[in-house]
């Protein structure tokens, strides 16, 4: 199996088939989500993760609910959809793709004149989001690849790969394109505590695809930057604000500082759906704090004393001045992010 064929979210018409990322890399398990509550739980419990994949799962979740439970009265249906959309949106607070995908479904289906047509449109629109994401990721990968030297060694954080999206991934997309083109690419992957997406997912995905990958712990990054001839750091994003400040997996901000200290370019790779022009700066982003157990336990085993205080922010914010470039499906933005990001949305965003 090569990573190209790993799909994290598969629409079955009356259920969502989901790769349970909590079981990787030990076990490749697909689960079936049959209710909107199943979808909420899967997002909340990180069975599906990665901003684009979360958006796709939520879109199918809303379509699934409508298909099974939607009223045949148009007004009742619309009221219920608003409520169910808000419910799904509450499953993860930081990822903007979640609300983006749900809003897109509400808007598109809102054009329809009957309950039946609304329900059909929700499904076709969710499928369209997934198809577009695949094309988007391919373009991001191509733009990302264009920034790398011929023989490249790149450090990445968390998982922004095929299993975080529909295919290819965002930051990892550049590595898949490099592999397709026969380029010489090596990757250092940080394990990404506390949930270990780097060790469990990125290392697995790249290994499956035959890409040279070396796993390190998060605190080895500075030593690796100093000693291993790293050409670039390439990571994803959960939310990019109007001025370019970027919320991403905890640890990203530290890597950006380390990149600057070593004179190494630091790139964010993310689809337009991650860019939130309605949020002015990173200061306006609410940082999700997660369960203490993510830190005190690993693989079900306690590694810290009972009753210890824990601080567990899931994300941090990297100020735009530490970012060399933001790679999107419509090109690479750098320098004046405020105007550069806004231009990506002209003509007006869907």
Options 72, 73, 133, 238, the catalytic residue: 238
Considering beta carbons, is residue 118 or 206 the nearer one to its own copies? Answer: 206
Contacts of 277 (CB under 8 A, 6+ apart): 241, 242, 341, 342, 345, 349
Task: Judge contact between 126 and 11, C-beta under 8 A.
Answer: yes
Would you say 197 is a known binding-site residue?
yes
Q: How far apart are CA 82 and CA 181, in angstroms?
A: 45
Distance in Å, CB of 247 to its own copies, minimum: 11
Distance in Å, CB of 303 to its own copies, minimum: 5
Is 238 among the catalytic positions? yes
Considering beta carbons, is residue 232 or 258 the nearer one to its own copies? Answer: 258
Considering beta carbons, is residue 20 or 312 the nearer one to its own copies? Answer: 312
Task: Judge contact between 137 and 52, C-beta under 8 A.
Answer: yes
Would you say 49 is a known binding-site residue?
yes
3-state SS, one letter per residue, for 224-292: HHHHCCCCEEEECCCEEECCCCEEEECCHHHHHHHHHHCCCCEEEECCHHHEECCCCCHHHCCCCECCC
How far is CA 300 from each of CA 50, 69, 204, 289, rounded to the nearest angstrom? 23, 37, 21, 20
Considering beta carbons, is residue 74 or 211 the nearer one to its own copies? Answer: 211
Distance in Å, CB of 23 to its own copies, minimum: 12
Distance in Å, CB of 71 to its own copies, minimum: 45
Would you say 89 is a known binding-site residue?
no
Q: How far apart are CA 150 and CA 136, in angstroms?
A: 24
Would you say 51 is a known binding-site residue?
yes
Considering beta carbons, is residue 130 or 248 the nearer one to its own copies? Answer: 248
Sign, CA torsion 129/204/238/330: negative
Would you say 200 is a known binding-site residue?
no
Q: How far apart are CA 174 and CA 185, in angstroms?
A: 10
Distance in Å, CB of 186 to its own copies, minimum: 10
Q: Which residues bind its own copies (CB under 8 A)?
A: 25-26, 188, 190-194, 196, 199-200, 203-204, 207, 212-224, 226, 228, 250-251, 253-254, 257-258, 260-261, 287, 295-296, 298-305, 307-313, 316
Would you say 312 is a known binding-site residue?
no
The one-character DSSP state at 164 is G
Residue ranges for the known binding site are: 49-51, 92, 197, 248-249
Catalytic positions: 238
Residue ranges for the known binding site for substrate are: 49-51, 92, 197, 248-249
């Amino acid at each position: 199996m090569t990573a190209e064929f790993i799909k994290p979210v598969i629409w079955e018409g009356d259920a969502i088939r989901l790769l349970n990322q909590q079981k990787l890399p030990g076990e490749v398990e697909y689960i079936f989500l049959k209710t909107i509550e199943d979808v909420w739980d899967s997002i909340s419990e990180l069975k599906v993760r990665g901003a684009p994949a979360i958006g796709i799962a939520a879109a199918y979740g809303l379509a699934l609910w409508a298909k099974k439970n939607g009223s045949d009265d148009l007004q009742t249906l619309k009221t219920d959809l608003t409520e169910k959309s808000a419910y799904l949106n509450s499953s993860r607070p930081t990822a903007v793709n979640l609300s983006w995908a749900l809003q897109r479904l509400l808007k598109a289906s809102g054009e329809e004149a009957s309950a039946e047509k609304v329900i059909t449109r929700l499904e076709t629109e969710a499928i369209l989001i997934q198809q577009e994401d695949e094309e988007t990721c391919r373009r991001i990968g191509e733009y990302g690849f264009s920034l790398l030297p011929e023989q490249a060694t790149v450090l990445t954080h968390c998982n922004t790969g095929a299993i975080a999206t529909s295919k290819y991934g965002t930051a990892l997309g550049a590595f898949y394109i490099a592999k397709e083109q026969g380029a010489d690419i090596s990757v250092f992957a940080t394990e990404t505590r506390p949930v270990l997406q780097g060790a469990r997912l990125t290392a697995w995905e790249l290994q499956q695809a035959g890409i040279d990958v070396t796993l390190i712990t998060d605190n080895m990054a500075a030593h690796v930057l100093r000693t291993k001839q790293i050409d670039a750091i390439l990571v994803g994003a959960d939310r990019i604000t109007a001025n370019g400040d970027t919320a991403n997996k905890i640890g990203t901000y530290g890597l950006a500082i380390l990149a600057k200290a070593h004179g190494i370019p630091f790139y964010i790779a993310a689809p337009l759906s991650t860019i939130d022009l309605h949020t002015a700066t990173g200061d306006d982003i609410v940082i999700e704090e997660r369960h203490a157990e993510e830190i005190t336990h690993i693989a079900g085993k306690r590694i810290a004393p009972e009753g210890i205080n824990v601080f567990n922010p899931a994300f941090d914010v990297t100020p735009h001045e530490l970012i060399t470039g933001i790679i999107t499906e419509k090109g690479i933005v750098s320098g004046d992010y405020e105007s550069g990001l806004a231009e990506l949305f002209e003509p007006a965003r869907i």
